């Protein structure tokens, strides 16, 4: 069973990027992975993928500000 999505502010710390990422007004849901284990998703992405996406956005924003 997939939990009903909640809307709110997502805040997650990534040890890989050593940074906390935050986004307001996003959809947060607990879904099931392939092995039927609980999986936290933010805007439809697993937390690890969401952090990677936020990191890439941060890098691209910093690059464009330098130009």
> Per residue in 8-60, pLDDT tens?
999 999 999 999 999 999 999 999 989 999 999 999 999 999 999 999 999 99
Q: What predicted TM-score, i.e. pTM, was given to this entire model?
A: 0.85
Using CA atoms, how far apart are residues 15 and 40, in angstroms rounded to an integer? 17
The full set of domain ranges for the chain reads 6-66
| Residue 2 pLDDT class (50, 70, 90 cuts) | low
| Residue 67 pLDDT class (50, 70, 90 cuts) | low
Q: In this predicted structure, what is the pLDDT of residue 65?
A: 80
Using CA atoms, how far apart are residues 28 and 26, in angstroms rounded to an integer? 6
3-state secondary structure of 21: strand
Q: In this predicted structure, what is the pLDDT of residue 3?
A: 74
């Amino acid at each position: 069973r997939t939990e009903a999505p909640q809307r709110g502010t997502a805040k997650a710390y990534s040890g890989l990027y050593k940074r906390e990422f935050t986004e307001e007004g996003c959809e947060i849901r607990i879904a099931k992975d392939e092995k039927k284990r609980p999986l936290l998703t933010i805007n439809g992405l697993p937390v690890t993928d969401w952090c990677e996406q936020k990191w890439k956005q941060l890098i691209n924003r910093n690059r464009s500000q330098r130009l």
